[in-house]
Amino acid sequence: MHLFYQPGGVTYLSEDDSRHAVKTLRLGIGDAIAVTDGHGNRHSAVITKADARQCTFRITETETTPERPFSIRIGVAPTKNLDRIEWFVEKAVEVGIERISFFYGQHSERRVLKLERLEKIAIAAMKQSLQSFLPQLDEAVSFSEMLKTVDEEQRFIAHLPPESLPDYLARAATAGGKYAVLVGPEGDFSDKEIEEAVRGGFQIVTLGSNRLRTETAALTACQILNFVNA
């Protein structure tokens, strides 16, 4: 069953999906498809007009998936090499994440991030892993601005202070919570940023004993929180 994405509450596919359905998959009138709205609803539908510019469908049944009893939000600085952050988005969506918030740290090398391509990757990963929720991707803002938007009650910042050894995220987090985890840029967080986060109620945690790249650390945080709730 081919799965498409239509968040608009309308009964036709986007231009990209219409072309894909009609030209590539050669689907025709009466063929069955599945359409998710990215908000938990997955429709079973049949094609009513096989138009490569606007393929219309009729919904025969709708299956609604409840939200997860916990939510994972990762705040991460875009990597210098965009492939790495694109990879993180794909994998985080596959394993399960609710929100990704990008920020520029004092030590960030990259200052520009276009969300359009990342959203396409997130949609493809949602379809591929047969999920009905599309995670929210937030435009990159400064570290301080991003902190202001965090309302999750379980707040963590992944950092390895020179002197002490912080708690392991899997032990610091408790199941069923709303989580926000901050992961720094290649150049790590500045001391000022760490202090600002700690003042904001973020607990310093580690993600394991190895030194991880930014995108690996971000995915590992996401995996740990999924495991804590598995």
Which residue, 141 or 172, has its beta carbon nearer to a copy of itself?
Answer: 172
- Per-residue mark of binding to a copy of itself, 160-199 (x: CB under 8 A): --------x-x-----------------------------
Residue 190, number of CB atoms within 10 A of its CB: 15
Burial of 1 (0-12, 13-18, 19+ CB in 10 A): exposed
- Per-residue mark of binding to a copy of itself, 112-151 (x: CB under 8 A): ----------------xxxx--------------------
Q: Which of 130, 101, 126, 95 is nearest to 223 (CA)?
A: 95
Closest approach of Cβ 148 to a copy of itself, in Å?
31
User: Would you state the torsion angle of the CA atoms of residues 89, 153, 177, 5, taken in this order, to the nearest 10 degrees?
Assistant: -40
Q: Is 223 in the site for a copy of itself (CB under 8 A)?
A: yes
- Per-residue mark of binding to a copy of itself, 77-96 (x: CB under 8 A): ----------x---x--xxx
Size of the site for a copy of itself (CB under 8 A): 25
- Given a contact cutoff of 8 angstroms between Cβ atoms, the answer to whether 128 and 166 are in contact is no
Q: Is 69 in the site for a copy of itself (CB under 8 A)?
A: no
What letters, b where the CB count within 10 A reaches 16 and e where it falls short, cover 112-140? ebeeeebeebbbebbbeeebbbbbebeeb
Q: Is 230 in the site for a copy of itself (CB under 8 A)?
A: yes
- Give the residues lining the site for a copy of itself (CB under 8 A): 87, 91, 94-96, 128-131, 168, 170, 208-213, 216, 219-220, 223-224, 226-227, 230
